[in-house]
Amino acid sequence: MTSAGSDDTPQDPVDDPVAGDPARGDDATATEDPVADERYGTDSRLSPALIATLVAIPIMVIAGFIAFAALRPDTVNPVESYAADGSASADCTRLLEAVPQTFEGFGSKEISGDRATWPAEGSGDDLTLRCGVTRPAELSPTSNLQEIHAAGQAGVQWFITDTVDGSGQAYVCVDHRPYVALWVPSNAGNGPITDISGFIDQTLERGPLDFG
């Protein structure tokens, strides 16, 4: 006996698009993208092209540093660019002739115009003395001066005008006339400036500090 409105007709099971498709696997949310598989591959290992790129990048960086070091200009001796105060005087000629012929670590003195140069025997810059440069514009009453005494001589006052890290320092003698500039390489030590100070005191006239 059946109740009114009931339907005893056997019903076909409703197709389950997930459960009824064994090709989809156990994970109903998993999807496959053939385009992505073709582009990136299904293997977790790095591709040869990517490995080659990762290796090439640091090599290019190292090559760039080497090229920069090779093309970088050599450090310029600052004393060479100082303005001259007229032509070399007879006092300068006497000074350039009087200063020592050699210093330890440098070759024989070479005189040209208003300067004497002692070539470096190894690495580093030449030792350079210029006579007759202009007064340092930076010289002021608060400037820090270095007084250097040669044996048996009065002190000579030097003003540091330039410092090049790893290369050397430039000085100008400011209490004698004419003004004298000296480039002292970092490997020269104190011997050259001490000896030259003595010859400056012997040869050149002492003058007042001129702060402009």
Q: How far apart are the first and last CA of the chain?
A: 129
Collapsed DSSP state (helix, strand, coil) of residue 31:
coil
Let me know whether 158 and 63 are in one domain.
no
Q: What domain range includes position 90?
A: 78-206
What count of residues does the chain have? 212
pLDDT score at 63: 60
Asked whether residue 111 is assigned to any structural domain, the reply reads: yes
CB distance 116 to 109 below 8 Å = yes
- Do the domain assignments include residue 11? no
Is residue 158 included in any domain, yes or no?
yes
Backbone angles phi, psi at 106, to 5 degrees: -135, 155
In a domain, 152, yes or no: yes
CA distances from 39 to 34, 158, 196 (A): 9, 72, 76
Of 71, 91, 109, which marks where a domain is finished? 71
Residues 123 and 97 in one domain: yes
Buried-exposed string 175-198: b where 16+ CB fall within 10 A, e elsewhere: bbbbbbbbbbbeebeeebbebbbb
193 vs 126: CA distance, rounded Å: 14
Q: How confident is the model over 55-108, as pLDDT tens digits?
A: 767 676 566 545 443 443 455 799 999 999 986 689 999 999 999 999 999 999
Asked if residue 96 and residue 43 are part of one domain, the reply reads: no
- Read off the pTM: 0.65
Question: DSSP 3-state assignment of 211?
Answer: coil
**Which is higher by pLDDT, 5 or 138?**
138
The Cβ of residue 115 has, within 10 Å, a number of other Cβ atoms equal to 21
Of 35, 56, 71, which residue is a domain's last? 71
pLDDT over 80 at 35, yes or no: no
∠ CA 159-192-78, rounded to 5°: 50
Number of domains in the chain: 2
122 and 154 both lie in a single domain = yes
Residue 12 has a pLDDT of 52
What is the per-residue pLDDT across 117-168, written as a single tens digit (0 to 9) for each?
999 998 889 999 999 999 999 999 999 999 999 988 889 999 999 999 989 9
Specify whether 41 is located in the same domain as 121. no
Residue 49 sits in the same domain as residue 90: no
